[in-house]
Structure 1
């Protein structure tokens, strides 16, 4: 998810505080506040009142016939959103042209806003052939309310320079009528459609990459929803047989409480009040699917976090303000899989990169390069990176 949700988040917090104070008749600090993890655990327990029914499945036209969620057995593409708005119909698009390499996230945002279809420098050379040293092409997956250039304008070129064939796309494009939310009217806003549909789009893109390069597998690097939709592809779209490594950066792997806001919304939904459906009108299907306790998150992690034969590297930042609690991004290895969970600040407390700017952190880049080729990049970088302003 992207920090662009902060506007509705602040408003939602303000309303929640007012409502909570008004109902209780005294200050909310009278009792110790529950932690975010306690909220998540409470929601995960499910409904306590059998008469209470969460509002799920209203108004959606997303069905298994759309090709979304292949193999998940649900066919509804709702993810427990409680949606009362929008339908299916998202799509992906190829990049057009190339933007400059950037070390500044702010500069990349400005360029990506004006050039939403541009590929980051170093990506999408369809004549690139993998080498014996780097046999798997790298597929970069951007996050919610973002695009390929904005997310990877810093990372793609160094990956290419290290000898990797790098590919990326803009996925999950859905207008307001398809449930992409109000922000989807901006040309730079992608990854708002149902995540099941986005996974099907990524499946088709990976097949194109494999056909063009002659490779048998790819490696994936996903930021935020990019990591989550990548895991959806692995589990439900046959991706586990086509992916060697899955590297996630601040991914909403177990859902996000969004600093407690999403957890409160999920609890209210579970009482039968469709507050998340209302928010979905503004932020889109994918944003709601990534909230803690959603049907989508529960299905994604049912039976274990990993797929056999895939190596996972999972990066989380203590300063992440969107994917919270930050350690909910970490995975537990199941049979036939390996997992390396990395807290960005371990061994480098001066890197204060947050959710968005971790994609512009030299340390994160070195972690990705190390995962792909530890002999070529044996040591991790460590530089001071300010919160919110990394790479500026």
Structure 2
């Protein structure tokens, strides 16, 4: 049923998109037989629309196993968020990082969800965060093995940032150098109070059936979040850059994403609007914020250098 519904919805979406976006005919058919690389997108909405038709697409610039990174840098693993995928999360960031000389790698995790949300095309990451963290650890190990690097950097949006912490704590931080997260549910989310309400009225089973175990795990005060943060926010030897937006309506309160620096770690907490009030990114649109992308480049730069743009970026919701 899951496959049938995904195919029906994907077919409906394909009919709605113009041939100028996706292409038609034999050439397009040949493309379907190989991993699809989607076009560069300026915003999350366009990337989301594309991924309804190509749910397993990867972003331009990602997963080039012959890539040679700029001097002093490691491979960068990009980790998407809940109900998202590797394309719509990084359709702008991945190519811009690649243009700047970084070798970037991404994948879809939590692809076998049985909840209602997981039946939609391109909706991944709905499964439990502990298992999703294990998937990320395995993918990072593959990147290290195939590229020959002892360490990788990790960039995670929303749940993606949270399962990076899962990897660091369960699998050790020795294989990770720099971490950048944005809108991450490091300390859980109240989801503007809805998550708290679901817990209070005992509706977590309904939440799990409809939205997946990931939704339950990320509620503020959940068993998963409590265990994840029990021994502090960070691990030694890792440099963290944590980015929030004041207009986040998913990871709430937005300050809950910030990390407290523990022994041997370095943490830089940044609010996207500080110094740039015209960037009014929300949880979804922050994925394509030029300012956020530049902050990510600077965090990954060996000397922490880089120009940071201040440009308008509107919310999706």
Q: Same fold (TM over 0.5)?
A: yes
Cα drift, residue 345 of structure 1: 0.5
Show the counterpart of 1:215.
149
Q: For the residues of structure 2 that align with 1:131 and 1:321, how far apart are their CA atoms?
A: 36
Tell me by how many angstroms 1:129 deviates.
2.9
The alignment status of 1:111 with 2:50, answered yes or no, reads yes
Encode CA deviations 1:171-223: one digit per residue, 9 max, x unaligned: 011232xxxx2011123010011111111111111111011111110000000
Could you tell me which of 340, 351, 354 is aligned with 2:279?
A: 351
Out of 179, 184, 188, the residue aligned to residue 251 of structure 1 is: 184
The Cα shift of 1:384 comes to: 1.5
Given candidates 209, 212, 219, the residue that maps to 1:284 is: 212
Q: Check conservation: 1:140, 1:167, Cα contact below 8 A.
A: yes
Is 1:201 aligned to 2:135, yes or no?
yes
Counterpart CA distance in 2 for 1:290 and 1:279 is: 11
Give the number of aligned pairs. Answer: 284
Instruction: Indicate the residue corresponding to 2:26 in structure 1.
Output: none
SS of structure 1 residue aligned to 2:109: strand
After superposition, the Cα gap between the structure-2 partners of 1:368 and 1:145, relative to the gap in structure 1 and judged at 3 Å, is: same
Offset of residue 132 of structure 1: 2.8
Q: 1:276 offset after TM fit, Å?
A: 1.1
Correspondence for 1:336 among 237, 257, 264? 264
Give the alignment of 1:62-101 within 5 angstroms.
96-101=35-40
Which of 190, 198, 202 is 1:265 aligned to? 198
* 2-structure distance, mates of 1:147, 1:347: 30
Name stretches of at least 5 consecutive residues in structure 2 with no aligned partner.
1-33
Q: CA deviation at 1:126?
A: 1.0
Report Cα offsets for 1:231-286 as digits up to 9, x if no partner: 10110123x11110111010000000011111122233xxxxx3111121100000
Aligned 8 A contact 2:113 2:212 in 1: no
Q: Does 1:188 align with 2:146?
A: no
Name the residue aligned to 1:156.
Answer: 94
Measured in 2, the distance between the counterparts of 1:388 and 1:175 equals 26
Q: Are 1:305 and 2:244 an aligned pair?
A: no
- 1:117-156 residue pairs with structure 2 within 5 A? 117-134=56-73, 136-156=74-94
Q: CA RMSD in A?
A: 1.4
Contact 1:266 1:292 in 2 (8 A): no
CA distance in structure 2 between the aligned counterparts of 1:315 and 1:357, rounded to whole angstroms: 13
Larger gyration radius, structure 1 or structure 2: 1
SS at match of 1:171: coil
More deviation, 139-148/372-381: 372-381
1:376/1:334 CA distance change after superposition, 3 Å: closer
Q: SS at 1:245's partner residue?
A: strand
Q: Distance in 1 between matches of 2:55 and 2:295?
A: 27
* SS of match in other structure, 1:251: coil
Q: Tell me if structure 2 keeps the 8 A contact 1:305–1:332.
A: yes
CA distance in 2, matches of 1:170, 1:138: 15
1:85 alignment counterpart: none
**Aligned residue number for residue 173 of structure 1:** 111
**Superposition map of 1:6-17 within 5 A:** none
